[in-house]
């Protein structure tokens, strides 16, 4: 016995379903902007508030000089390395409580 797998239907019979936009609270949202970050080279060290401010400072310090700048969150979970105004290395420590 042969059965037809696909139903034939007219496009007019299909009505779009509107799905409400459900926004779930994200406890991590903005968490990195609340942290203090340490931006440092071999000779300079500066502590700034917020990830974006730390990244901007690291890019400024490395834009014109052959310099390596490290950016590290004070909790030690995120480390970034910048050269020539660009991010070259990013390390996120995912194991809770682990220190290098």
Is the whole-model pTM more than 0.85?
no
Separation CA 89–CA 55 (nearest Å)? 13
Non-local (6+) Cβ contacts of 60 within 8 A are none
Whether residue 68 contacts residue 83, with contact meaning beta carbons closer than 8 Å, is answered with yes
Between CA 13 and CA 94 the distance in angstroms is 50
Interatomic CA distance for residues 45 and 38, integer angstroms: 7
> Can you tell me the distance from the alpha carbon of 43 to that of 55, in angstroms, rounded to the nearest whole number?
18
pLDDT at 4 over 80: no
More confident residue, 42 or 18: 42
Domain ranges in the chain are 33-92
Q: Does residue 98 have a pLDDT over 80? A: no
- Whole-number average pLDDT of the chain: 79
Q: Model confidence over 29-72: pLDDT tens digits? A: 455 667 899 999 999 999 999 999 999 999 999 998 889 999 99
């Amino acid at each position: 016995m042969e059965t037809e797998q696909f139903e034939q239907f007219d496009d007019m019979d299909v009505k779009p379903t509107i799905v409400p936009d459900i926004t779930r609270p994200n406890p991590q949202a903005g968490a990195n902007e609340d942290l203090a970050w340490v931006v440092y080279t071999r000779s300079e060290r500066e502590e700034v508030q917020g990830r974006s401010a730390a990244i901007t400072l690291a890019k400024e310090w490395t834009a014109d000089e052959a310099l390596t700048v490290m950016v590290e969150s004070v909790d030690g979970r995120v480390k970034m390395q910048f050269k020539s105004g660009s991010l070259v290395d990013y390390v996120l420590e995912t194991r809770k409580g682990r220190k290098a």
